[in-house]
Every structure is written in C-alpha cells, then in structure tokens.
Structure 1
Amino acid sequence: MYCHVTFFLFALISRVTSMELPSYITACSRNDPNLNDCALKTAKESIHQFSLGDENRHLPPLDPVFVEEITIYIPNETGLKIVFKENYFHGLSGMQIKGLKFDFNKKTISAEAMVNLEVANKYDLSGKIMLVPLKSNGDSSIKLKNADLRIKMWYEHVTGSDGKIHWNITKHEIKYDVERAYFRLENLLGDKNIGDQINNLLNELWKEIVNKVGPTICLSLSSAVVKNLGVFLEQVSFEELFPE
C-alpha cells in the first residue's frame, strides 16, 4: 500500500537556536564507508527515547499519536458507517528500525521499520444491515499487527542563524503493509449477539478496511514523525550529525 505526502515544514531556521546532539544520539562520520550501518545502529538505539519527545527541544511525544477522526463504510456507503473518534495510536516507542540509508547526492533519507500499534478510541455507528436501521456508539479499539513501514524523505540545505548548514525536509512518501488488523466495538446496540456479529464482520473484512483507512493513518503517523525529525534537524547542524 502506498501513501504520498507533500510536507513542507515552513520552518524559519533563523529563529531556531542551535543545539548540540542529545546524549542518546551518536554522530556518524560522513566519510565512513559504512555510514549507513553506523546510522542504523544509532537509530535503533535512539528511537525509543526520540519517540518520548523532548520539551526542551519542542518535540512533542510520538507515543501516543492523536488522530481526530477516521471514517469507514462496511461494505460501502449504503451499509454501515463507522466513525472512529479521538484515536490514540500507541506503539511508536517500540518501533523497530530495520533499515536506514542516506544519499547525500540526491538529498534523500530512506528508512524501513516494523511496529505494532494499538489504538484506543470511540466509535459512532450508523446505517443499515438487511434494511434494518442501526445506531450505536461507545468505546472501541484497533490493533495493527506487524505494520511494515517504508518511508522516504527529501531534504534541502539551508543556512541557520548559527551560520551552519542544516537540513530542511521538503516532502516524504510512505509505503506500508499490515500483517493483520483487529477491531473491537464495545456495547454494540446493547445486544451481545448483534455486537458479536458486527465485530466478526469487521474482522473478516480487515484487509478491505485497512485499505480504506490506511492513507489517513499513514499520513497522520508519518507526518508526526517527520515533523519532529524536521524540528530536530533545524536544531542540529549537518556538521554535528555527520562530521568529517
């Protein structure tokens, strides 16, 4: 599955105070023939701490990531409409970085990661099954097992107020696959039998549902990560990240 995002930070580098590398990130020499191996190692070691955010660096936590609303139709607009509200995506702090590559000539960063996500939310269900009108709401949850994320970012060089070169991310795209998704709506219509039938239907159609909501989810998650990374790159110069 594929989701393309044009994402301009519009950050005013001149207003950002230059900061040193945090203790949990190790610099890699730009001349190291094994640069990408070095970068992958430090990414694996730092992703948990990075996802927790840093108030001093104006980096909000990435676990959870909040998504206001996600809407799905089962099987289409003439059937059931389910609006998932107040979605809190938990799990990015446990993300496993599987690959990382920097191309200084093309000014790109490519990364691959695996993550398990649990979403706590609320639902609002309406529509018809077999011409019978239904309406219900309550607490719900979604689990995404082994979501494989492949993200590519493009950046440009900008000069910060410190007179040094910084990276500014201009856009990114993401491809993703999910091994399995699980859905659970609580207290459906106050009837356990009907509730079980609807939940079973959702879980039988999980692939179709993920195809429908995937772009919204990947846009929200990747934009949150890339935005934090962009702010971080405003603060830390290219020279500090990749010294000679």
Structure 2
Amino acid sequence: MLSFPFSLLALISYVTSMGLPDYIQPCSRNDPNINECALKSARQSIRQFSLGDPSRKLPSLDPSYVAEMTVYIPNENGLKLVFKDNYFYGLSGMELQNLKFDFNKKIITTEALVNLDVTNKYELSGKLMMVPISSHGDSSIKLKKTDLKVKMWYEHVTGPDGKIHWNITKHDIKYELEKAVFRLENLLGDKQIGDQINNLLNELWRDIVADVGPYICRSMTTAVVENLGVFLEQVSYDELFPE
C-alpha cells in the first residue's frame, strides 16, 4: 500500500467558486442511498473528467505521463531496462465498481477497473548470457484488467468564497492486474534475439510490475488527486452534496 500526505491549499488563492459543471449531478447528503447516487453520477462524468476541462484549469488525464521507469532483470547484474516518455492511455474508459463516502470520518473509498495501453521509448543495456548488449527504440506495454482500490482522506476548509470546501489530505492505493504484455521493437537489430528478450520480459511480467507498479500508481493517482483537488476548490460541499 502506498501512503503519502498531499495538500492543495496553496492553490486556493487563485481559484474562485465555479459551481457544478453540467456533466456532474449533485447528490443529497441526506439521501439514504447516497453512495448509489454518487456512483451513478461519477460513472456519467468520469470520461469528461479524465479528458480534462480547460475552462476549469483541469488538464487531460488520458493520456497520463510518467517520465521514466527502470527495471533490472533479474537483478542489477543482469539487464537494465529503462522506459522513457511513458504515455498511459485508457483512464477515460475506466469502469467504476463502487464509490463510498463516510462523512463522519471524512473518507472516500472507490474501486475501479481499467485497461491501460502505454507507449514509450526503451533503453536496454547489460549482459545477456555474459555478452554485453545495448539497444534502444520504441516500445509498448499493455496492462490488462487493472483493479485499483483507492482511499482518500479529506478535511473541511473555508474557501475564498466563504463556503466550505473539501481538501484531500492523503490517499492510499492498492492494485492488482490480470496481465502485463511488453513489446520492445528493433532489439539489437536481430528479430530472433529480439523475440527471445520479449518472451523473457513477458515471462517475468509479475516481477517487472512489482518494480514499476508502485511508481506508476503513485504518479497516476497523484495526477488524478491534483485534478480532483482543483475541482473541489471550485465546487463547495453544499453544491456537491446539498441537504
């Protein structure tokens, strides 16, 4: 589980209340089925939210960007594989499984299923069967049926509009995925050797994901929480969850 504090209070000074956008429906905080209402609203708005909203200074999250990821296979004495300029596509097609609010403890929990396609560049170096190798080129990764479980804590703050807003203070994430598929192009300029290395990567996908998975999730969820934080500064608690 990843856990780290995150505050966006510094942004409040330049954001004014803008009310709810048309693509998000409010839910009464007194509704006995508030979680079902919120889940329905979130499912209807997740695509628009992921694609961004320039009028609200919300950048697109699809694709999301991760600058660099490094993997050693099977360890630092073997191959060093660096993925650069990673673009993750698929968040706008995320399927929300559940969404729950605990207004007393100020906790939001959600679970989502998503398929992610990654385009990037690779740099491969090290030794293969004691032979030094070096290669670079285009690459791709498919992360199939990634199950994300996210927990967020928030606090009430008074915005410059004088209204109560939510501020995300911390978030945790757990993840599981069904399969990861790697493809490195033009490996050493030799198709046979390239196929062997790609086969090796795909046999060891669990070990590779164990190395890069936490960094991927931290980068992507931080981007999501940053957007959510800006949005919550623009929309008051009463507008999002009226009585």
> TM-score range, shorter-chain basis?
over 0.9
- Do 2:11 and 2:230's aligned partners in 1 also have CA atoms closer than 8 Å? no
**What is the CA deviation profile of residues 74-109 of structure 1, one whole-angstrom value per residue up to 9, with x for unaligned ones?**
101000000000000000000000010011111111
2: distance between equivalents of 1:12 and 1:120? 32
Letter in 2 for 1:139: D
1:12, CA displacement in angstroms? 3.8
Q: What aligned pairs does 1:20-35 form with structure 2 within 5 A after superposition?
A: 20-35=19-34
Q: Which residue of the partner structure matches residue 170 of structure 2?
A: 171
Aligned to 2:46: 47
Distance 1:57 1:12 in 2: 13
Superposition deviation, residue 139 in structure 1:
0.1
Asked whether the equivalents of residues 53 and 62 of structure 1 are also in contact (C-alpha less than 8 Å), the reply is yes
User: Is there any run of 5+ residues in structure 2 with no aligned partner, and where?
Assistant: none
Give the deviation of 1:3 after TM superposition.
Answer: 2.3
Once the two structures are TM-superposed, the CA of residue 161 in structure 1 deviates from its matched residue by 1.1
Tell me how far 1:10 sits from its aligned partner.
3.6
Q: 1:5 touches 1:219 (CA, 8 Å); kept in 2?
A: no
Q: Which amino acid aligns with 2:19?
A: E
Q: What are the equivalent positions in structure 2 for 1:78-157 lying under 5 Å apart?
A: 78-157=77-156
Alignment length (residue pairs): 243
What do you get for the CA RMSD once the two structures are aligned?
0.8
DSSP-derived class of the 1:207 partner = helix
* Pair 1:77 & 2:76 matched: yes
Taking only the aligned residue pairs, the percentage that are identical comes to: 71
TM-score of the superposed pair, with normalisation by structure 1? 0.98
Q: TM-score under structure 2 normalisation? A: 0.98
Q: Which amino acid aligns with 1:77?
A: E
Q: In the alignment, is the contact (CA less than 8 A) between 1:154 and 1:169 conserved in 2? A: yes
2:51 is aligned with what amino acid?
L
Please tell me whether the aligned partners of residues 100 and 109 of structure 1 are also in contact (alpha carbons under 8 angstroms).
Answer: yes
Q: Which amino acid aligns with 2:27?
A: C
User: What are the Cα deviations for residues 103-133 of structure 1, in whole angstroms up to 9, with x where unaligned?
Assistant: 1111111010000000000000000011100
Paired letter, 1:18: S
Show CA shifts across 1:152-174 (max 9, x none): 00111100111100001011010
Correspondence for 1:56: 55
CA distance in 2, matches of 1:177, 1:241: 31
